[in-house]
Homo-oligomer: A and B are copies of this chain.
Amino acid sequence: MSDTLMTIREMCDAFEVTPRTLRFYEARELIFPQRKGQHRLYDRRDRARLTLILRGKRFGFSLEQIRQLLELYEPGGANRTQIAATIEVSRDRLADMERQYAELSIAIDDLRRQISDAEGRLAAETNEQPTG
């Protein structure tokens, strides 16, 4: 059930991307759908990777950074040096995300305060008599 193969159209509908996008990600070696003849078929693994890709994009990572991160999620037959390198860059990304998390917390508080200030001004103006 969960390892159902999906066509490109099904993938597009499920993830709200275009075929162009999926082919583009494949060209950049972010996903590796099988082929049935000429047609692409996406399995559970491809869907998991696409989920991570879209998530990474929302955090502002480049496709290349995401590609490196995806290596971490593939316990394939990489050698020690490659695994260590992957861990390296992943730690960097993690640090980025932790920084972003902290800053986002501040920014959210900031924005909430600004919004309620503005709401206050709006309410005040409502009770005043405008001079014009």
Q: Is the CB of A90 within 8 A of B114?
A: yes
Q: How many copies make up the complex?
A: 2
Q: Is the CB of A104 within 8 A of B73?
A: no
- Size of the A side of the interface (Cβ < 8 Å), in residues, is 37
Spell out A's residues near B (CB within 8 Å). Answer: 55, 58-60, 69, 72-73, 75, 80, 83-84, 86-87, 90-91, 93-94, 97-98, 100-101, 103-105, 107-108, 111-112, 114-115, 117-119, 121-122, 125-126
Q: Could you list 14 A-B pairs, sorted by A, with CB under 8 Å? A: A55-B107, A58-B103, A59-B107, A72-B111, A72-B118, A73-B114, A80-B122, A80-B126, A83-B125, A84-B122, A90-B115, A97-B104, A97-B107, A98-B108
